[in-house]
Each structure stands twice: as C-alpha cells, then as structure tokens.
Structure 1
Amino acid sequence: MRKPDRFGVLGVALAGALLLAGCSSDDGGGAPAAAGGQQANPSASAAAAAAEVAVTPGDGEQANPTTPIVVTAKEGTLDSVTVTNAKKGSAVKGELSADKKTWTSAEVLGYAASYQVKATAVNTDGQRVDRTATVTTLSPKAQAYPSFIPAPSITDVGVGQPLVVKFDQDVTDKAAAEKALKVTSTPAQTGGWYWLSKREVHYRPQQYWKAGTTIALHAAIYGVDLGGGVYGQTDRDLTLKVHDAWVAKADGNTEQMQVFQNGSLVKTMPISMGKDATPTHLGAHVISDKKQKYTMDSCTYGVCPPDPKAYRSDENFALRISNDGEFVHENPNSVGAQGSANVSHGCINLNAANASWFFDHFNLGDVVEVANSGGPQLPIYDTYGDWAVSWDAWQAGSALK
C-alpha cells in the first residue's frame, strides 16, 4: 500500500485553517480594517474650533455714550480685556461674566471720544486668539445743561413749590426730554410737566403737595437726543422735603390776611395791597426768596423814572411772591391804611410786628393766595404762576399728552 503524501496532507490543513479564519467573526473588540488597508485609531478626536471675539458697538459706528461696550467670546472664554480712552489714556472699568464669555463696560463713556479695545480669547485646546477694535462715540452739535429751581442746595420747601428745569439750549424734542425727567413723590401724588418754552419746563402736583412729602427729581438726560443735534450734558438729581402747609389768604375786600397752618387758622392780620394803578395780581403766589433787609427798585423789572409807577425804597422782612416786584413785607408808611385801603405798588404791606411774625413762619414754597385785589391773574411765567393754570390746561402743556 502506498503511504500518504505528508506534504499534501499539510497543504489541505493549511487551506482549511485559512478558510476558517476568513469565516470567523471578530469578538475581541478589534477595529475593522480601514479603507486602503489602514487600521483606524480609536483614540483620535477632532481639533477644537478656534475661539472668536466680537466687539459692540462696531467699528465705524457713532455710538451713544450711554451704550456699553460689550466684548464676547465664541467657542472659548475671554482671557483678558482692556478698553482705553485713546485721548486720556485712562482705562474703562468693566465686569467679566461668571462664565468668562462676556465683558461689559461698567461706566458711561464720553462724547466725541475714541476707545481702543484689546481682547484675548482661548479655546478648549488652549489656543489663543487676539482681537483689537475701536469704538467711537457721537459728537453733539451742542450739549444742554439742566439747571434746577429750587437749586439742589435747597432741601426744605412749602406745599406750593413747583419743580423747574431750565436748559441752556433749545429743546426741540420736548417729549424725549420729558421722558428723561423722572419725579417720584412719597406719598405718591398725581403730577405732571408743563412746557413754558423750548428751554423751560415746570412740574407740579394736581393739588398742593401734602405736608411731609419727599420729592425726588432725577434728570437722566445724559446721552438723550433733545433734537437738532443737541444732547443732554449731564444727569442731575434733586431731593426736597415738604414742611408744614403754610397758606396765607389775602383778601382785598376785607383788607385782612388769614394765615393757616396745616388747614387750621392761626393768625389774622390787617394788610394793604396794591392801589388801583398798581393792583396786586390775583391767584396763588409762591414764595421764591426772602430777605430781612431788601432794597425794592422798580427798575429791576423795567419801570424806571420818570415813570410815575417807578419807586425805590429799603424795606424789612421781605418775602418775594412774584418776579415783577410783589412782596409781603413791612411798610411803616402804610400802617394807617392797613386794614382799610389798598395803597401799595402791588405788595402786601404789614406792620412791623406782623411782618416779623410772617417772616419767621413763612419760607420758600409757602403759598400766599390773593383774592379781590382788582388785578389780573398772576401769569404762569411770573416766577411761580403755576397754580393759576387749571389742571386740564396743565396736562395739555405736556409734550407727552
């Protein structure tokens, strides 16, 4: 018998082994062969996206100085941000968000200024990207300054005190200005603004202020477009406290003046008001100034010699109630007429004792109501003729009606 060929048997075995290897599954977790015969690397990952930095307002934009500069990182976080006033070299304060993705300026900017922004952001791979930018603010044609009456140095006023804001530039967008003038009263009382001109606006409540009221005026006009290229120059604040309600009622028929404190009659005194040629104005007057000694000169409001209505005299205990020469004051020359006839140039005359008492008790913002004087109504523009205007008419004087 012929013996098997051992090489032939080995060849068959190898062929079977190769066949089995080709048919078996990979249960050992190995990666299949990649295209082109390359084995895939399971530890490889995509590269992190590059960080980006955005700055607003953007280059070339004339930004309002009240608009904050905002620096934002995308696909990363902010590593550093500096914003510098190009002219002054001073750094602008700012705050970085907790996630380090946003930086926001924390102070108002200036008009007609340029700010240099330098920022660096880092992505998750630690790759850094730098960004520089320039922010430019608008340049107004003019800036309007808001003066206050009473001045902020005055803190205590009477129940008749209006708030007056006077601008040193024409305001053509009165609505924008009025929106920026915020009045808060505690306790709350209904009130409103009334424009006397393009430069002057008054605020008063519907009724006299309540005694004890705190009044706060915030003029947030910086950055406000007031029209015609004019912008607000600065923000300002005023806080007033209203004292007891002192109201005097002067009657030309009885030649008497009754004085009320918080609604209760506390004193009655004889008076002499303006004669027929120079009658005292009718209506509610508000005390705007007081001087223990004062020289009264009609030339200060345009009535000068040889006009027969002209006068000049030194008086005591003088409290101004209008801007055309009306005061409550002592006048020893009219004592004989006080209580019986009107002989003054328009003032309310008192004897020495009553004038001294009145001077001690009445102050800025307190009210003197004049009735039956034979004179015309006190004009609204005559210092504080605000109370001569009906509430409906007052509301119509608002730019936001």
Structure 2
Amino acid sequence: MRRPARMLAVAGLASVAVFAAACSSGGSTPDPAPAAKITLADSTAKPINPTTPISVRASRGDLTTVTVTNRKGKNVKGASSEGGEEWHTTEDLGYGTTYTVKADAVNPDGKHTRQTFTVKTIDPDDTAYANVVPAPEVVSEDGIGVGQPMVFQFTKPIKNRAEVEKHLVVTTTPSQPGAWYWTDDQSVHYRAKDYWKPGTKIHIEANVYGVDLGDGVYGAEDNAVDYKVHDSWVAKADGNTEQLTVFHNGELVRTMPMSLGEPTTPSHRGVHVVSERSASTVMDSCSYGVCQGDPGYYRETVFDNLRISNDGEFVHAAPWSVGQQGSANVSHGCVNLSPADAKWMYDTFRLGDVVEISNSGGDELPVWDTYGDWAVPWKVWKAGNASA
C-alpha cells in the first residue's frame, strides 16, 4: 500500500532527528563555568604600610569594578591591569586608617561575584617631617652660593639613620660626587668634595613617607626641592694681614681692611657659609652669658649683617672699630668692616656664599655649627656616619 506523501515527510524528519541524536551520543550540556574568585594580594591580618598598594586580583574571571574608600567615604585612586585581572591603588594611603574594598568580578558565563574586604594601615607612635634648609622661600632668585650644603632637618631625632639615607636622593647637573653626613641626630647634610660649580642645578628629595625612622617614629611626608648655584663669591679674611679679599669666580675684585676677634674672643678659623642676612640686628652679649653689669657687656644695633655661624659670628658694619680695622683684631669674633665696605658685602653676598677665615687664633668652626661641613676632611665625610 502506498503511504500518503505527508506521512513520508514526517518519517523523514524523524529519521533526521534519530541521526542527529546518534551523532551526539556520549555528549552532554557543558558544565557551568566556576565562579570568579576575588582575593587581595596581601594578607589583611596585620595593618599594612601606607605606601603599600592595595592590590585586588581575580581568578577564573575578570574584575568589573573595584572601589577603595576611607572612613569618610572618599575614594582612593587606582588603576587596572591590561587584562582586567588585577587592580591596585595608585596613591599613598594614610596612617592609622581603615579602608573598605568592594570588588565585583564576572566569570566567562557572565556570573558576578561580589566581595568586600577591610584593610587597615599602621598607626605610628609619632611622625617627623624632613624640612629642607635653606627653605626655598628665603633663597634669592639667582640661587645659592657655592658653599651651601644641602640639608634635611627632621622634626624628631632619627635613630634609623642608615635606613633614612636610602630614601634621600640628590641629583646634580653637571654631575658632581657628594655624600651625606649627620651633623646631629636630626640634621643630615650633603656636600660635594669641593665647592659647587657655578651654574649647577641641584635636585634633592626626602622620600620618607612610610619609612620607619626608629623608636616608633615614621616619616610624615615626602619633600623635594630644586636649587641652582649662582656665581662663585668667596671672601678670605686673614687675621695676620687684617685684610678681607673678595673673589668673584676666582678673580680678585675687592680688598678691605677688617678686624677679627680679639685674643680673648677669637673668630673661628676655617670655611664659613652665609646662612642669614639682616639689614639690622641687635647684638647682646647677654646671649652668651655676659650680661648688664658684667665686664665686657654690650648691646648694640648693628647694620648690614651676614651671619656666618650660630656662635654669634657675622660680617657686619662696625663704625666703632674703623680705627683698628686693617691693623688689629679687636672684635668679639665677628668680621668688622667699615659701614661702606659692610654695605658692599651685604649687597653682594647671598645665602651659601663663602667666608674663609685664617690665622684668627681660634679653633676650627665645628661641624655642627650651622655649616661647619667643610671642616670635615672629604675622606671622612664621604665615609659617612649613619651608623655612628
């Protein structure tokens, strides 16, 4: 019996279905992809250093969003890797702060995994700033003198000096070899073997934020400053001749009669560096223990002052000793000049310019007295004293 045409068509479809089933025999629907897993790169069991980035990673999927917020709800900046499997903060965190990390990741099937973490940062007993000396705002537009050391002065005593030095950077153009040296437990100075070359550009950095300075003290923030060195100005005060000779870029430009410290109060010998300028200063002997009523007491307003040590030594106008200038040393340790010569020095010399004193009968300027750096032989200075 012949089947109707419709019945043949249905049978044909059935056979195709059977054939298709036979071809896929032994297979099954693919298993769902495993859920994405989100982890932090570092354990959250202990507080982290604020300079350590918070790093979020995804496995078996990609991160879609990550937010890190502090207690006030402020977001921390961050960036993702090219593949989308990792995200990390790109700015320093704060001390003693708790951060909330919220992350979302998606697996190949489009299924999302969301997770929240808490990260805490270390909370130091105290922090210290690395102040730069001289402060940029007191430096003249034409820069600093050839004798100016680079100085970071910390607001707290530093125990881990060697560790701190690893985070101090000096770049000079043109390049000149130099080294750090601690003049006390809060001040570290940098100088070259010889005076800076005129025109030198100097960049210094104290990258101490997050650094353990010792005894529970950490660096409060980083600091960086740029300087430039102006022309070379060096004055040489000779106690034998009582003459002050001034050299500009190595050329003698002026000779002046002067008076150094008398034998009972001799001027320190050695290299002095101008650290302060003042048009007028009240000098009072009571500042070093000789007060009113004592022999040798004085209180005088003095003009055109260049401070060259913290021991009360200045180059300044001394109209009262003009008669002895050029013939006798009669000051209390300063370099006495006539009003006209002192005005010229005041108008010419800036911070970092040099006054070298010789044959004064005094001790060498101590390394700890402002900028007594040049009293230390280069071999000793270069060796450093961070572990002392």
TM over 0.5: yes
After TM superposition, the structure 1 = structure 2 runs for residues 353-364 of structure 1, keeping only pairs within 5 Å, are 353-364=340-351
Q: Is the 8 A contact 1:68 1:104 kept in 2?
A: yes
1:344 lines up with 2:331 in the alignment: yes
What are the superposed Cα offsets for residues 150-188 of structure 1, whole Å, 9 maximum, x if unpaired?
A: 013244210111122222222111111111111111111
Displacement, 1:131?
1.1
Aligned to 2:356: 369
Q: Is the 8 A contact 2:167 2:208 kept in 1?
A: yes
Q: Secondary structure at the match of 2:166?
A: helix
Displacement, 1:262?
0.6
1:117 lines up with 2:84 in the alignment: no
- Shift of the 306–204 alpha-carbon distance from structure 1 to 2, 3 Å rule, reads farther
Decide which of 132, 136, 142 is 2:120's aligned counterpart.
136
Aligned to 2:26: 40
Q: Secondary structure at the match of 1:250?
A: strand
After TM superposition, the structure 1 = structure 2 runs for residues 156-175 of structure 1, keeping only pairs within 5 Å, are 156-175=143-162
Q: Secondary structure at the match of 1:221?
A: coil
1:395 lines up with 2:382 in the alignment: yes
1:60 lines up with 2:45 in the alignment: yes
Decide which of 50, 74, 84 is 2:35's aligned counterpart.
50
Mapped to 2, the partners of 1:331 and 1:197 lie a distance apart of 34
- Shift of the 107–301 alpha-carbon distance from structure 1 to 2, 3 Å rule, reads farther
Displacement, 1:356?
1.2
Q: Is the 8 A contact 1:212 1:242 kept in 2?
A: yes
AA at the equivalent of 2:122: L
Aligned to 1:232: 219
AA at the equivalent of 2:362: G
Displacement, 1:400?
6.8
Aligned to 1:79: 64
- Shift of the 308–385 alpha-carbon distance from structure 1 to 2, 3 Å rule, reads farther
1:190 lines up with 2:177 in the alignment: yes
Aligned to 1:267: 254
Q: Is the 8 A contact 1:309 1:345 kept in 2?
A: no
Mapped to 1, the partners of 2:347 and 2:59 lie a distance apart of 69
Mapped to 2, the partners of 1:223 and 1:309 lie a distance apart of 52
After TM superposition, the structure 1 = structure 2 runs for residues 329-340 of structure 1, keeping only pairs within 5 Å, are 329-340=316-327
What are the superposed Cα offsets for residues 162-221 of structure 1, whole Å, 9 maximum, x if unpaired?
A: 122222222111111111111111111111111122222111111111111111111100
Decide which of 207, 232, 241 is 1:220's aligned counterpart.
207
Percent of aligned pairs with the same residue?
Answer: 53
- Structure 2 portions without partners, runs of 5+: 1-18
Q: Is the 8 A contact 1:192 1:398 kept in 2?
A: no
Decide which of 58, 73, 80 is 1:96's aligned counterpart.
80
Q: Is the 8 A contact 1:279 1:373 kept in 2?
A: yes
Displacement, 1:291?
1.2
Mapped to 1, the partners of 2:217 and 2:128 lie a distance apart of 7
- Shift of the 174–315 alpha-carbon distance from structure 1 to 2, 3 Å rule, reads same
Q: Secondary structure at the match of 1:116?
A: strand
Mapped to 1, the partners of 2:289 and 2:375 lie a distance apart of 24
Q: Which range moves more in the overlay, 146-155 or 267-276?
A: 146-155
Mapped to 2, the partners of 1:287 and 1:31 lie a distance apart of 97
Larger radius of gyration: 1
Q: Secondary structure at the match of 1:202?
A: strand
Mapped to 1, the partners of 2:287 and 2:225 lie a distance apart of 29
Displacement, 1:30?
7.3
AA at the equivalent of 2:193: Q
Displacement, 1:310?
3.5
Displacement, 1:302?
4.0
1:326 lines up with 2:313 in the alignment: yes
Aligned residue pairs total 368
Q: Is the 8 A contact 1:321 1:368 kept in 2?
A: yes
Aligned to 1:20: none
Mapped to 2, the partners of 1:259 and 1:170 lie a distance apart of 39
Q: Is the 8 A contact 2:184 2:368 kept in 1?
A: no
Displacement, 1:379?
0.9
Aligned to 2:133: 149
1:107 lines up with 2:94 in the alignment: no
AA at the equivalent of 1:60: A
Decide which of 274, 291, 313 is 2:278's aligned counterpart.
291
Displacement, 1:301?
3.8
What are the superposed Cα offsets for residues 68-123 of structure 1, whole Å, 9 maximum, x if unpaired?
A: 011111111111111110x2211111112222111111110000110011111001
Mapped to 2, the partners of 1:184 and 1:298 lie a distance apart of 42
Q: Secondary structure at the match of 2:137?
A: coil
Displacement, 1:237?
1.2
- Shift of the 303–387 alpha-carbon distance from structure 1 to 2, 3 Å rule, reads farther
Q: Secondary structure at the match of 1:244?
A: coil
